Structure 1
Amino acid sequence: MNRPDSPARNDRPARIAIVGAGPAGIYAADALMKSDAPTGFGGVSIDLYERMPAPFGLIRYGVAPDHPRIKGIITALHKVLDKDSVRLLGNIDYGTDITLEDLRQFYDAVIFSTGANADRALEVPGIDLDGSYGAADFVSWYDGHPDVPRTWPLEAEKVAVLGVGNVALDVARVLAKTGDELLPTEIPPNVYDGLKANKALEVHVFGRRGPAQAKFTPLELRELDHSPTIEVIVDPEDIDYDEGSEAARRHSKQVDMVCNTLEQWAIRDVGNRPHKLFLHFFENPSEILGENGKVVGLRTERMLLDGTGDVKPSGVYRDWGIEAVYRAIGYRSRPVPCLPFDEATGTVPNAAGRVLIDDRYEGAGRPLPGIYVTGWIKRGPVGLIGHTKGDANETVACLLDDLPSLPPPRYPDSGRVLDWLAHKGISFTTWAGWRRLDAHERALGEQQNRERVKVVERADMLHASA
């Protein structure tokens, strides 16, 4: 039954709020617009809330600057945000500026797509030493995130990167490249200055399993060898396969391509490029070694294949002279205010995107009406950016099924939430503001014959967006 101050549903579009304007949130908006009009409504009207002044989330602040083809995804996301039925409300922090209770006043349903931007924990002795870093923090620094320090300690000549996924490769590649190599990208001046002074000469990437179990994509792996300053080195003893590994190669073309590339590198002569990037397999980090509170080494245990593609410990340890350690073993989502959170999985409990709350009386989870999740906060930080499209489609299908039975908001008119934000003194950026910021960054780049120079300071982003 409609509330007295809520118009009949067939007279208005369904009002949907999406919290998080990264790829997952924008794909959800796209799925909503491409779906048939929800029963009883005249289409959809979507507000995308984003805590940063600029949209695009992981694409802007989680992808290495020397990956322009991945950043090209922004072109497709632009087309979604260009639609009249989508409105960007940036520089608004959910949980601080606006709460779930507030959102319920203005929207029929809310989708959370807050992503995963924290580092997964690694429980080994020495992890808290000075010189031990999380990859997410380093990525945020070199991607010019406004909420992290403007400098990064790059004094170590020998550096370890723990993990064998694409993020580990990004971190290793950025550490091994020169500042001048990365200057043609969009990196801001503070990042260029930091990388220009980087003292790293050796970067060691460690994986606890073998080549067939590495999570690199073939293209990302091959890109390591494209730099004129990086010599990629693989120990021939690390090229080893068991029955499970051979099966993985037969069943996956990508796995086979990764193995072939590593095999080629293992048998070639080592060249004379100035920066050495070592890829180590079957080495499980067991302790970060320290003196006077600082990293001075890394201890690993040699692992052995067990026949299934997994590994078992050998009891043989090796100490590596390392001065800094970056863990790149996966991202983790942070809890979302007013939503349940599963600490074990780092996700919001859900069924096909419907947020579930515990019911101690019935002994099972039950849906929280009108509240949904999509992307990494829904399924964990696995898969590539494009995989979030499937998440979005599943979540949106559930939302549209539920919509006719959900209680209507008190203030469904799209202007009411803007009035509320103005009354609260909350200033926000818009899609038109992003266009202005985008033009400003491109103009800065044009002065240096670069595509763009990213603006870092939040105040400067807001000024350029106004």
Structure 2
Amino acid sequence: MSGHKLLFSGLKLWTSGTSRWISGLHDGVNKSGKACFSSCSPKVCIVGSGPAGFYTAQHLIKARQDVEVDIYERLPVPFGLVRFGVAPDHPEVKNVINTFTQTAKHSRCSFYGNVNVGKDVSIEELRQAYHAVVLSYGAEGNRSMGVPGEDLAGVYSAKDFVGWYNGLPSCGELSPDLSCETAVILGQGNVALDVARILLCPIDILEKTDITQPALDALAESQVRRVLIVGRRGPIQVACTIKELREMVNLPDTRPEMAAADFEGVTEALKDLPRPRKRLTELMVKTALEIPGEKEQERRNKASRTWGLKFFRSPVEILSDPDRKRTAGIRLAVNRLEGSGDSSRAVLTGEVEDVTCGLVISSIGYKSLPIDPSVPFDSHKAIVPNNMGRVQQAAGLYCSGWLKTGPTGVIATTMNNSFDTARSLLEDMDSGTLDVSPAKPGSQSISALLDKRGVKPVVFSDWEKIDSVEMSRGKAIGKPREKLLTVEGMLQEAQK
């Protein structure tokens, strides 16, 4: 039968030479509008529909012609951090959504949004219904700074601040006060630079992006004119990439302000750095120390806003106003480095420095949270303990993405990490370590459970209704998209 097409319930399905599962086709389609395959197809469930979830699904579907994949997502909308984490002025990074959409529309893949795994359905119930369960739900927790005053008004995590301007429903009420002149961002990774750029970006640039309308309105009224991006180590250890730094350097109506003393000895160290790090450091040195050309000097002179990378500083305390209600400043410890390169450590000197500011944004990292008591979790590393994506002491359970490695790297890093997990799972199927011979009900039994519990999943065609509404709302005001900001609003459109 290989190579022939089979017309079945109005859908074309490739048989791909695996007649053993064609013989058991159910006569109909499942709730997602996808054809129901044989009960003896290997069934894999993925929890989380961000890059890790979709890349894992993509690899499984391409590598094996009989595997069926169901993706469960807590929100009614897919794509995780591609939708809610990527900066609005980086639309090219979001193009990966096209690839994920192809995967979601594949005949052997189904998407079920609005399903909160761990609450609406347990991991144990998923494990009974599927041959394998892959946890790819990312890192939705905040790392705490652990300093006095971090609960004052005016202190936010970068994760929440980014969620606010990107329309994450749980961050809709954030309403940050941008009435101060100086903002301090703790951390020097790409997310920290994204936040700095959004705070200082001219409104006429932002209003052409998919930034949410409440964020756009707040930024249009913002009094923030100076942003300090603080790191505990030196220029050679910054965590951002050259693209993000270059965008800050070229940001209209801004000029850089950096302390020459922070760059002592950096020029001499350049020759020993690996190429990407060398190019990044050279751009920093040039921006901080070199006298700019006439045109650039003119641009800087006209700028009404400033930004700077501030090195060798760690937060000690968030300082409050006299009423002890709001942020009025931040006390920073002055550090020195011990060791060299990436392995160097920041050591306290005993000196401190106070910076007046009304806004502090902590960009010191995301962290994963445990989903279910039955799943092993390393609370110190904030990951699920695993070996190449295989969850330890839990046959048939896997993890991919930040839950597997911690919150590091870019989308391409997550892609490779997810492909590795998919390969581990496929190896286990092939070797018999993962027994796929018993029939499993997959989404049939889970759909019945959800139905009984009054949970109505959002399938991919429902998401496409939401997508269409957002695109047309955006088009009406000259934006690529105007996002729906509440789960209720999303469900309303999905169920029309």
TM-score clears 0.5:
yes
CA distance in 2, matches of 1:422, 1:10: 22
| 207-216 vs 72-81, greater mean Cα deviation | 72-81
Alpha-carbon deviation of 1:33? 1.1
Alpha-carbon deviation of 1:406? 4.0
CA distance in 2, matches of 1:11, 1:343: 38
> Is the contact made by 2:484 and 2:490 (CA closer than 8 Å) also made in structure 1?
yes
Match in the other structure for 2:334: 302
1:273-352 to structure 2, matched below 5 A, reads: 273-291=303-321, 292-309=324-341, 310=344, 311-337=346-372, 338-352=374-388
Residue number among 261, 267, 283 corresponding to 1:261 in the alignment: 283
CA distance in 1, matches of 2:177, 2:125: 41
Residue number among 344, 363, 368 corresponding to 2:394 in the alignment: 368
CA distance in 2, matches of 1:414, 1:184: 40
Alpha-carbon deviation of 1:46? 0.6
1:91 paired with 2:104, answer no
**How high is the TM-score relative to the length of structure 2?**
0.84
CA distance in 2, matches of 1:290, 1:424: 47
> Is the contact made by 2:181 and 2:358 (CA closer than 8 Å) also made in structure 1?
yes
> Is the contact made by 1:23 and 1:59 (CA closer than 8 Å) also made in structure 2?
yes
Residue number among 402, 418, 421 corresponding to 1:395 in the alignment: 421
| Structure 1 residues 105-158: Cα deviation after superposition (integer angstroms, max 9, x where no partner) | 321110000101222121223222222211111111111011223322222221
1:233 paired with 2:252, answer no
Q: Aligned to 1:238, what secondary structure does the other structure show?
A: helix
Match in the other structure for 2:389: 353
Match in the other structure for 2:55: 27
Alpha-carbon deviation of 1:380? 0.3
CA distance in 2, matches of 1:429, 1:52: 9
1:377 paired with 2:400, answer no
Match in the other structure for 2:469: 440
> Is the contact made by 1:242 and 1:305 (CA closer than 8 Å) also made in structure 2?
no
Q: Aligned to 2:395, what secondary structure does the other structure show?
A: strand
| 50-59 vs 442-451, greater mean Cα deviation | 442-451
1:16 paired with 2:40, answer no
**How high is the TM-score relative to the length of structure 1?**
0.89
Q: Aligned to 1:194, what secondary structure does the other structure show?
A: helix
Alpha-carbon deviation of 1:199? 1.7
Match in the other structure for 1:451: 480
> Is the contact made by 1:19 and 1:112 (CA closer than 8 Å) also made in structure 2?
yes
Q: Aligned to 1:387, what secondary structure does the other structure show?
A: helix
Taking a change above 3 Å as real, the CA distance of residues 131 and 449 of structure 1, as seen in their structure-2 partners, is: closer
| Structure 1 residues 387-414: Cα deviation after superposition (integer angstroms, max 9, x where no partner) | 1122222222222233334466774265
> Is the contact made by 1:210 and 1:282 (CA closer than 8 Å) also made in structure 2?
yes
CA distance in 1, matches of 2:357, 2:155: 11
Taking a change above 3 Å as real, the CA distance of residues 76 and 251 of structure 1, as seen in their structure-2 partners, is: farther
% same residue:
35
| 103-112 vs 372-381, greater mean Cα deviation | 103-112
Q: Aligned to 1:72, what secondary structure does the other structure show?
A: helix
Taking a change above 3 Å as real, the CA distance of residues 315 and 462 of structure 1, as seen in their structure-2 partners, is: same
| Structure 1 residues 241-291: Cα deviation after superposition (integer angstroms, max 9, x where no partner) | 369x827x6342221122121122213455231111121112222222223
Identify unmatched segments of 5+ residues in structure 1: 1-6, 38-42, 357-366
Alpha-carbon deviation of 1:203? 0.9
Match in the other structure for 2:197: 173
| Structure 1 residues 287-317: Cα deviation after superposition (integer angstroms, max 9, x where no partner) | 2222313221112233334352324333332
Identify unmatched segments of 5+ residues in structure 2: 1-23, 26-36, 292-296
> Is the contact made by 1:210 and 1:240 (CA closer than 8 Å) also made in structure 2?
no
Match in the other structure for 2:164: 141
Match in the other structure for 2:31: none
> Is the contact made by 2:249 and 2:287 (CA closer than 8 Å) also made in structure 1?
no
CA distance in 1, matches of 2:362, 2:155: 8
1:78-157 to structure 2, matched below 5 A, reads: 78-150=101-173, 151-157=175-181
| Structure 1 residues 339-393: Cα deviation after superposition (integer angstroms, max 9, x where no partner) | 121111010111111112xxxxxxxxxx201111000001100111111122222
Q: Aligned to 2:146, what secondary structure does the other structure show?
A: coil
Alpha-carbon deviation of 1:223? 0.6
CA distance in 1, matches of 2:261, 2:467: 49
Taking a change above 3 Å as real, the CA distance of residues 71 and 119 of structure 1, as seen in their structure-2 partners, is: same
> Is the contact made by 1:117 and 1:333 (CA closer than 8 Å) also made in structure 2?
yes
Residue number among 274, 296, 299 corresponding to 1:252 in the alignment: 274
Q: Aligned to 1:402, what secondary structure does the other structure show?
A: helix
Taking a change above 3 Å as real, the CA distance of residues 416 and 250 of structure 1, as seen in their structure-2 partners, is: same
Match in the other structure for 1:203: 227
1:419 paired with 2:448, answer yes
RMSD: 2.3
CA distance in 1, matches of 2:261, 2:365: 27
Letter paired with 1:306: E
Match in the other structure for 1:46: 69
Taking a change above 3 Å as real, the CA distance of residues 305 and 424 of structure 1, as seen in their structure-2 partners, is: closer
Alpha-carbon deviation of 1:416? 3.7
CA distance in 2, matches of 1:63, 1:459: 23
Match in the other structure for 1:461: 490
Q: Aligned to 2:172, what secondary structure does the other structure show?
A: coil
